Amino acid sequence: MIVAQVLRDVIIGHALTTWYKSVESLCSSRFDKRSGFSMDECIKIPDDFKGYPISQFCIPKHYEDDLECVIIPKGFVLDRTERLARDIFQNIDLTKPTAALCVLKGGYQFFNDLIHFLKQLNANTNRSCQLSIDFIRLKSYSDDQSTGTVRVIGGDDLSNLRGKNVLIVEDMIDTGRTMTKLLSVLEQYKPHTVNVASLLVKRTSRSVGYRPDYIGFEVPDHFLIGYALDYNEYFRDLNHIAILSSKAKEKYSSANIS
């Protein structure tokens, strides 16, 4: 009886210790106490995050009065992009060539930096993948609102995607309707695999629930500009990702710039 009691206590104690360590590990991996950002499948910027004052960054003079704050500095974007490139590279099916598909215009800066890091991995590790580049343009925004419809306004011949690994590179997933539409278009070309990398995913009640395979940052439901993200074609020349002010929305609205 005594031996059985001791064994039971040891087993229960070990189970509790294992459970505690697993919970502790889970919590530490999903929350960065220093930044307040949640760390799970991506870096999650909380809704109450106040951002960084624009006075601490190099902002083009013509935009200084148009921004509420910088929410993601360029250096942070680049570090996160480098890690995404490593994750993508580790998961690539090397038996097939890979076609990287950039969604223009907003995705070009993220696409350029992501491809740069993938090419570095291609050249400097003992693994490599044959990588090609293609482009498509879609339109789903008018001013600061997603229209709910997707209009294809440009793009190359996509028939060369047949049998390849396709990596779609997007700047931001908002409602998810645009990407859902693009994925349905690509099905007819019969690619080997399709994965989506998005720098940003917006937390919004308008979302259809779509989540890309690789996510840089999950962000609050603000209208973000910079790092090639635009508002009526303005702010693509801003290095950092920032929140657009209400005054600037009116200033650069289609009604005022047409």
Note the pLDDT tens digit of each residue in 39-77.
Answer: 467 999 999 999 999 999 999 999 999 999 999 999 999
Q: Which amino acid would we find at residue 240?
A: H
pLDDT of residue 32: 45
Tens of pLDDT, residues 177-229:
889 988 988 888 899 999 999 999 999 999 999 999 999 999 999 999 999 99
101 near 136, Cβ under 8 Å?
yes
Burial 159-168 (b: 16+ CB within 10 A, else e): eebeebbbbb
Which residue among 66, 113, 171, 174 is the active-site one?
Answer: 174
pLDDT interval class at 239 (50, 70, 90): very high
The answer to whether residue 174 is catalytic is: yes
Pick 26 or 49 by higher pLDDT: 49
Angle 183-167-238 from CA coordinates, rounded to 5°: 100
Neighbour count for residue 232 (Cβ, 10 Å): 16
Give the separation between CA 253 and CA 258, rounded to whole angstroms.
Answer: 9
**Angstrom distance (rounded) from CA 74 to CA 57:** 10
Better pLDDT: 83 or 16: 83
Q: Average pLDDT for residues 125-140, to the nearest whole number?
A: 86
Tell me the pLDDT tens digit for each residue of 64-120: 999 999 999 999 999 999 999 999 999 999 899 999 999 888 899 999 999 999 999
Q: Please report, in angstroms and rounded to a whole number, the separation of the first and last CA atoms in the chain.
A: 88
Are residues 75 and 58 in contact, defined by beta-carbon separation less than 8 angstroms? no
According to DSSP, the β-strands at 67-72 and 241-244 are: antiparallel
pLDDT digits (tens, 9 = 90+) for 133-182: 988 887 665 555 655 556 656 556 778 889 999 999 999 999 898 899 88
pTM: 0.79
Distance separating alpha carbons of residues 97 and 95, to the nearest angstrom: 7
- Please, what is the Cα angle at 240 between 156 and 147, to 5 degrees? 50
The pLDDT of residue 257: 75
* The token pair that represents 92 in the structure block: 């690539």
